[in-house]
Amino acid sequence: MDSGFWIQKLLDTFYNSLSKFKRVLLKLSGEALLGREKHGIDSKALAHIAAEIKKAYEKKIQLAIVIGGGNIWRGASDRGEAIDRVTADNMGMLATIINALALQDALEHVGIPTRVQTAIEITKLAEPFIRRKAMRHLEKGRIVIFAGGTGNPYFTTDTTAALRSVEIGCEILLKATKVDGVYTDDPHRNLKAKKLTELTFMEAIRKRLRIMDTAALSLCMENRMPIVVFNLHVAGNIARAVKGQKVGTLIKES
């Protein structure tokens, strides 16, 4: 075997050592894009998130993202008397596409090739979700952002994240939040709430800890997809999570 073969083997070993996981899915809330704004997208918050994602991407992982739309529209809670739940949820799915396009642009500005795939066909703006094509993008070193939810009303973007992570064969689902893990109660309202470093899916469901909806937790539990819940606003946390370092709370099978 020539020297080039061994050099490539050494490089592969080095890059593999940079991250514990090969393929992960990151779930971002739409509210993460608010920054100091009350509504819409704050450009500084968007740039900060893109910079944090870049740190993780540089660990040579395959990274997919699901983003919510709550900074623009929350279907379940924003609907009024004139808008029914199905229409409101459809509006929420469109909001996730707006956020996905914004994040795609921010990531490409920092040099990361990115594709947006949507569950709702809108071909002039993004690709339709095709599982094999998404996996091929990841293998080629592109970040894939999944937008449009599942394409169906009554399903949250947390459920979308669980579904897509299972579909494309991720090793872990990372849920970025505004708190540093899962607590026994809302730490902003209850100062006595205790942080949990680890728990099982059934514990999360039975205790109604409101980390993710029950459908998302059940899907992850059935498919043995571990979840890490961590604070997005701590610099370097996404990169630490993909390296397998202890951040936030780990939810897994018992």
SS3 assignment, position 140? coil
Tens digit of each residue's pLDDT (9 = 90 or more) over 178-206? 889 999 887 778 888 888 999 999 999 99
DSSP for 68-126, please give it. --TTT--HHHH--TTS-HHHHHHHHHHHHHHHHHHHHHHHHHTT--EEEEESS--TTTS
Write the pLDDT tens digit of every residue in 3-32.
666 665 565 555 555 568 999 999 999 999
| Residue 92 forms part of a structural domain | yes
Share of the chain above pLDDT 70, in %: 93
Domain membership flag for residue 179: yes
In a domain, 47, yes or no: yes
Q: Which of 91, 26, 60, 38 is nearest to 241 (CA)?
A: 26
Asked whether residue 22 is domain-assigned, the answer is no
Note the pLDDT tens digit of each residue in 132-166.
Answer: 999 999 999 999 999 999 999 999 999 999 999 99
The CATH number for 225's domain is 3.40.1160.10
Q: Could you tell me if residue 8 is inside a domain?
A: no
Domain assignment present for residue 6? The answer is no
Q: Is residue 186 part of a domain?
A: yes
Is pTM beyond 0.85? Reply is: yes
On whether residue 219 sits in a domain, the answer given is yes
**Range of 185's domain?**
29-252
- 253, pLDDT greater than 80: yes
Structurally, the chain folds into a number of domains equal to 1
